Chains A and B, each alone.
Chain A
Amino acid sequence: MELDLLTVCYLLGSITFIVGLKMLSNPATARKGNLIAAGGMTLAIFGTIFLYKDDSGLNLQNFSWIFGAIIIGSVIGVLAAKKIKMTAMPEMVSMFNGMGGACAALISIVEFDHLSKNSLTDNQGTLMIIMLGCIIGTISFAGSMIAWGKLNGSIKDFSFKGQHFFNITLSLIILSLATYLALYETSISTIIFYCIFILAVLYGVFFVLPIGGADMPVVISLLNSFTGVAAACGGFLYDNKVMLTGGILVGAAGTLLTILMCKAMNRSLLNVLIGSFGGNVKNSNGEQTQSGQYKEISLSDAAVIMSYANKVIIVPGYGLAVAQAQHTCHELEKILTEKGVDVKYAIHPVAGRMPGHMNVLLAEADVSYDKLKEMEEANEEFSSTDVVLILGANDVVNPAAKTDTASPIYGMPILDVELAKNVIVNKRSMKPGYAGIENDLFYSKKTSMLFGDAKKVLQNLIAEIKSL
């Protein structure tokens, strides 16, 4: 009877995952959806602890260990998730994803140890699933850690000649070792298994290392779906339906989400993975290093043209996030609005380091939701706009995406800020953006530059406007 109750728990868990994901894809219901999925997860976890029986009908033991681990994990998890700055969210997601991958890999290691005490080749199916879970989980873990390091700046882009060849060779070695292990049982089977584990770590590292930092969201999303598949392997292993549904669900949804993200940047997944963004850009762009004349604008001039404008559109980018200038930005918006200026924000789908990054950031500063215009909407409004203020955005306003077929970002939809009467660009320096390409917009006649840290510049700008 108890086991049947567990089946119901798992069934409810699976349903909440599906409903939760569905609700998460609509702004109005998203928060509730997250809570529903969390509820289903809690049910499934405690159901497992108290009701699970193994094949011989024994209940689980080691309660103190289990609860100890859960308490430690919860405390660290809640603290980390609550303390983390809004700008560092992407890293955090990557970190948690890595933890899930590591968890799946550890399960596989323990189960392999169990299995090797019996006979490996008698249980080929199980062995293969264990290896799959181990390989995918490990790649996801190692990859996520690198992605985490890249996002917080402690790991730099790194690629060497023959990187792709190296990666392909590495994956082939892993596959052939796994096949060998499944087919032949020898005295060194255990050693081979650990070799596979270590190679998978290496593969995860070298898989993510060459990919440019700007593409990390896509990579994290991909690794996210990897972990989903690794979790599903666990579902196979224990014939556990909730792990299976949850894992596959995330695997499929994560893959689609990855593709959607790539589409938002108008690039193919392959293109992202091969990493042509990071390394090869300099060659393809070599000829057009024409550094034309750009003009600077003084704070007081900027203050004047903004406060006497009818309509100002602010284009936020990663620079805003780095400078933590979202509150100051909101303040500027309020002051301009008081002066009768119509202020809006134009949000490019991939502005910042993650899709939706800017929305989250501005929402944190209490910017009202209907001031945020998505790209299509914003593009219709630029021609009637007096001043566009670009805060630390670069590639998403680069006209090369429209005009220069040789440019690596060619074809990416951009914000047509050039349609506005004036463009003021706030950047820290003339250094190119994350994609490493020049931006002709900065040399346009309409454009004037306002150098400096976004927060400081905005504070000074506000002071200037107040004193007008």
Chain B
Amino acid sequence: MDTILTWITSNQQIIYIVVLMIFVGIEVIGHVPSVLHTPLMSGANAIHGVVIIGAIIVMGKAESENILALILGFLAVVLGTLNVVGGFVVTDRMLEMFKKKK
């Protein structure tokens, strides 16, 4: 019990962010028309590509003799970039088609 309490106290800032973000996430897309489900999913898909920042940190901190970290980090950055770049480009392509006709 004590450990849980200390953990909550020492991480309270993060816990606040998590709780608030859950509500923001639900609130923000609450009224999406079904037409936009796919682009929205694709857009959200691109946003979680933010995981690439973790990959960059891994890569940037890897010592040159740590082959495992170098290889896996490199792979992680490639995959993360794919997620981010591909995600945003695909979403843009989908949305391009929704633009108003002249």
Contact = CB atoms under 8 A, between A and B. Distances in A.
A66 B68 CA distance: 15
A73 B85 contact: yes
A240 interface: yes
Interface in A215-251: 217, 220-221, 224-225, 227-228, 230-232, 234-251
17 contacts: A21-B28, A21-B40, A24-B36, A24-B91, A26-B36, A30-B36, A35-B92, A54-B61, A62-B73, A73-B81, A107-B55, A217-B37, A248-B25, A252-B24, A253-B25, A257-B32, A257-B44
A354 B38 contact: yes
Contact of B55 (A103, A113, A359, A369): A103
A349 interface: yes
B22 A248 contact: yes
A102 to B, nearest CB: 5
A359 to B, nearest CB: 5
A82 B38 contact: no
B26 A89 contact: no
Chain A to chain B: the 9 pairs with minimum beta-carbon distance, closest first: A73-B81, A60-B60, A252-B25, A77-B85, A69-B77, A355-B37, A363-B97, A77-B86, A234-B54
Interface of A: 13, 17-18, 20-22, 24-27, 30-31, 33-35, 37-38, 41, 44-45, 48-49, 52, 54, 59-63, 65-66, 68-70, 72-74, 76-78, 80-82, 84, 89-90, 92-93, 95-97, 99-100, 102-104, 106-107, 109-111, 113-114, 125, 217, 220-221, 224-225, 227-228, 230-232, 234-254, 256-257, 260-261, 264, 347, 349-350, 354-357, 359-360, 363-364, 366, 368-369, 374
Contact of B86 (A30, A78, A90, A241): A78
A148 to B, nearest CB: 13
- Residue of A13, A77, A220 with highest tally of chain B CB at under 10 A: A77
B78 A72 contact: yes
A34 B43 contact: yes
Contacts of A66: 56, 59-60, 77
A145 to B, nearest CB: 12
B50 A41 contact: yes
Nearest to B18: A248
Contacts of B54: 103-104, 107, 231, 234-235, 237-238, 240, 243
A281 to B, nearest CB: 24
Contacts of B41: 93, 217, 220-221, 224, 254, 257, 354
A247 B68 CA distance: 26
B94 A89 contact: yes
B93 A249 contact: no
Interface in B20-38: 21-26, 28-38
A89 B44 contact: no
Contact of B83 (A62, A103, A252): A103
Contacts of B24: 18, 249, 252
Nearest to A247: B48
B52 to A, nearest CB: 6
B47 A37 contact: yes
Contact of B38 (A17, A81, A111, A356): A356
Contact of A38 (B37, B64, B88): B88
B89 A243 contact: no
Contacts, number: 375
Contacts of B46: 34, 37-38, 41, 96
Contact of A227 (B26, B29, B51): B51
A356 to B, nearest CB: 4
B8 to A, nearest CB: 11
Majority SS at the chain A contact face: helix
Contacts of B17: 241, 244-245, 248
B71 to A, nearest CB: 9
Contacts of A368: 101
B47 A244 contact: no
A266 to B, nearest CB: 13
A118 B58 CA distance: 17
Contacts of A107: 51, 54-55, 58, 76
Nearest to A63: B60
Given A35-B92, A81-B93, A246-B48, A260 B21 contact: no
Nearest to B23: A252
A54 B89 CA distance: 32
Given A17-B47, A231-B50, A106 B97 contact: no
Contact of A92 (B33, B59, B88, B90): B90
B39 A24 contact: yes
B36 A27 contact: yes
Contact of B45 (A30, A80, A97): A97
Nearest to A356: B38
Contact of A69 (B7, B34, B81, B89): B81
A77 B80 CA distance: 10
B90 to A, nearest CB: 4
Contact of B52 (A26, A37, A103, A374): A103
